[in-house]
Amino acid sequence: MAKHEWILWFTQLTRRDVARVGGKNASLGELIGNLQSEGIRVPAGFATTAAAYRKFIADNRFDGPIRAHLDAYRKDQATLAQTGAVIRRLIRHGQWPAELAEAICAAYRDLGARSGGDEIDVAVRSSATAEDLPEASFAGQQETFLNVTGEAELLDACRRCYASLFTDRAISYRQNQNFDHLQVALSIGVQKMVRSDLAGAGVMFSIDTETGFPGVVTIDAAWGLGENVVQGAVSPDNYTVFKPLLDQQQLTPILHKTMGSKEQKMVYARRAGHPTRNVPTAAHERNRFVLDDAEILQLARWATLIERHYGTPMDMEWAKDGTSGELFIVQARPETVQSRRQAGVLKTFTLTGHGEALLTGLAIGEAIAAGPVQVIKSASEIDRFKDGSILVTGMTDPDWVPIMKRAAGIITDHGGRTSHAAIVSRELGVAAVVGTGHGTSALADGQEVTLSCAEGDEGRIYAGRLPFTEAEVNLADLPQLRTRIMMNIASPAAAFRWWRLPCRGIGLARMEFIINGIIKAHPMALVDYDLVEDQEARKQIRELTRHYADKSEYFIDQLAQGIATIAASQYPEPVIVRMSDFKTNEYADLIGGRQFEFNEENPMLGFRGASRYYNERYRRGFALECAALKRVRERVGLDNVIVMIPFCRTLDEADKVLEVMAENGLARGEHGLEVYVMVEIPSNVILAEQFAERFDGFSIGSNDLTQLTLGVDRDSAILKSLFDERDAAVTGLISQAIGSARKTGTKIGICGQAPSDYPDFAAFLVEQGIDSISLNPDSVIGVIRRLHEVEAGLAKGMKA
């Protein structure tokens, strides 16, 4: 047999060669052949072929013994563990056919010569011929060996790769997929090592892995070799990049950056039999990002190019060489979970009960699960796992797959969104919360918990079994409306979750939810930190801002990231962001806030909304809000953001706010900036035509408008029966506002709660000719169906 049938260089391969070299190696060849000219770097290397594997098996006469052991397993004459162990031991003790060993070693020497060295360090990766296919994929079935040096180590690593074709999880998987074990072969990729032990490495996807939102690249990064990220052994950095704006070089379309704890890193060990080892990361490494913005954008552009070439969302591994500073793609395969979901079907889970939150972590998927906890700290204990339990462990690797598929939910101490636990949980459709930090110590065997991934990107573990609902809607069945339907979004975490809904923008993004839920500190306590007297508040602010030299920059950056994430979810449709609308008592509850606020008898009618923005007590805090919005629109490039001013009482107040905004770089009309005003005070309705001269659009706030029209405190329990947005006085004002808007050619919508709660109220708005209705996401489907009937009735009446 010719040597070229045993060894193929990556440059000779394309994705059509899966049968010869498996999915991983075929994909590397495809990248080198088609995308190196686009600047994508892939480390050089070669692959052993399926024919080489079959020669190894045939020359050692292993076919018969392997089939016999597998038959015994199928007949329940041996356990899975026994079967896998005996086959792997058999292969690891096999002898290399001399000509095959020489072909591998000759290629290794040739790779060294091409790379300018003799015994170079290589990565030795398994690539099964039935692995990484969209219809039959699973994370980490076979082994990878890093920092392999010398011909003897290489041949030993190759033999171990062959043996890994019969790991317990690989045998189990092939049984479930109905693959013939002896028809599947294994190719080995031998690739020049990238010295990421001196820098960092990680994983990236060209799609949001939790929601399937196609507009982003998500990147995980940790120091050292990439195996810790793949295995979920560390909590990595995470970066989210908006794809549609990547080709505009003047922009920095990074939506979000989260710094992981990156507790350890994998480095070269240079010890016999132990080529790598984990060491603790230094404090300065834990407290800074692995990649800078330019590197994040470079990887994201590569991910977009690779996705475009393959025509499907992709799952990639990358590494940075600490010597040259260069980035490399070391693996690429089709993403196999979100890309296969039915785009027209929306499945939702809603928690309907309340309980004590015991733990938080990263939510994987969007489901909810409940059941008894089972803490298992080692793979050696998995035999005691009980079906339907909530699996709690430090981290998972492929050995855990047989019980992961039997779990109601999964909780891990460590890992990020691209860890093994996260990838497999998505593929199995099992709810998981990863990176909780201390789930194995905080939870106990038999403890009843509810695991919720339905509340945004933060997953929560609640005490007890809480009730929840599950629903599925076919979006293709929904009718088209004349009225623009938009969404109210509170938190960035919720934005991507609802991208499939047939909405045309966001009618209300509440800035205060980002401030309260993410930033946590009072803006003025950040601006005037040196004046903060509360020592506990100072301590908390130092901890929150520890990665920022300037505490004001912390506020701007975190607010900008939150707004950008919300805006990206609907780009290029309009996203209306309301400036902060806390009351004084709510501002006081922020960290450091009490010193900068004062007591008011009635905060609802006090120092709130527009009145704060030009007042010296808050003017510099408002400047931070403006800076964040300017960054989102001009640096990130999300110019679909519209600014909205709440609780603007008078025309003079409107002029003052617009003047302050312009001083802070947000001048109405410049760079296409539109500014809306809330219509929530009777004065806004009475003087609507004059307000229309100052603003580009109106948004009706039905809660405050009802409160101020009827003189009813909307929070009063005793007056609850009187508070009704459908009262004739309120609907009369709304009708008047819509009429004034139509007269002046000003856009008008509504973002209050009433259309979500009362379909008849939504129908009234359509009859009045409102331009848009912004709804809570969970009420969109029902209101669309109701409004279709209303619009059809109106059209019929007009024809008559």
Task: Record the tokens describing residue 266, joined without a space.
Answer: 């994998």
Res. 616: pLDDT tops 80: yes
Dist CA 386 CA 321 (whole Å):
44
The helix (run of H) or strand (run of E) holding residue 202 is strand 200-205
pLDDT digits (tens, 9 = 90+) for 339-360: 666 566 777 888 899 899 999 9
pLDDT score at 654 = 98
Mean pLDDT computed over 567-579: 97
Mean pLDDT computed over 594-612: 95
State the amino acid at position 601 in one-letter form: E
Dist CA 580 CA 598 (whole Å):
17
Task: Record the tokens describing residue 362, joined without a space.
Answer: 């990263």
Share of the chain above pLDDT 90, in %: 69
pLDDT score at 467 = 93
pLDDT score at 800 = 53
Res. 454: pLDDT tops 90: no
pLDDT score at 132 = 45
Please choose, from the candidates 306, 304, 297, 301, the residue with its C-alpha nearest in 3D space to the C-alpha of residue 635. Answer: 297
Dist CA 170 CA 179 (whole Å):
11
pLDDT score at 1 = 39
Res. 686: pLDDT tops 90: yes
pLDDT digits (tens, 9 = 90+) for 79-90: 888 999 999 999
Please choose, from the candidates 196, 202, 464, the residue with its C-alpha nearest in 3D space to the C-alpha of residue 353. Answer: 464
**pLDDT band for position 483 (cuts 50, 70, 90):** very high
Res. 727: pLDDT tops 70: yes
Q: Other CB atoms closer than 10 Å to residue 737's CB: what's the count?
A: 25
Dist CA 561 CA 273 (whole Å):
45
- Active site positions, annotated: 420, 751
Cβ contacts of residue 54 below 8 Å, gap of 6+? 185
Tell me the β-bridge partners of 362: 434, 458
Task: List Cα–Cα distances, 262 to 435, 558, 770, in angstroms.
Answer: 11, 21, 51
Question: CA geometry: angle at 313 spanning 310 and 318, to 5°?
Answer: 85
pLDDT digits (tens, 9 = 90+) for 260-308: 999 999 999 866 667 889 999 999 999 999 999 999 999 999 999 999 9
pLDDT score at 343 = 61
Res. 75: pLDDT tops 70: yes
Task: Record the tokens describing residue 130, joined without a space.
Answer: 């039935």
**pLDDT band for position 572 (cuts 50, 70, 90):** very high
- H-only helix segments in 259-413: 283-286, 293-310, 401-404
**pLDDT band for position 336 (cuts 50, 70, 90):** confident
Res. 137: pLDDT tops 50: no
pLDDT digits (tens, 9 = 90+) for 503-543: 999 999 999 989 998 999 999 999 999 999 999 999 999 99
- Write out the DSSP string of 361-382: EEEESS-EEEEEEEE--SGGGG
Cβ contacts of residue 755 below 8 Å, gap of 6+? 702, 761, 762, 765, 773, 774, 775, 779, 783
Task: Record the tokens describing residue 745, joined without a space.
Answer: 């050619």
Q: Other CB atoms closer than 10 Å to residue 698's CB: what's the count?
A: 29
Compute and round to an integer the Cα radius of gyration of the chain.
30
Contact 574, 539 (CB under 8 A): no
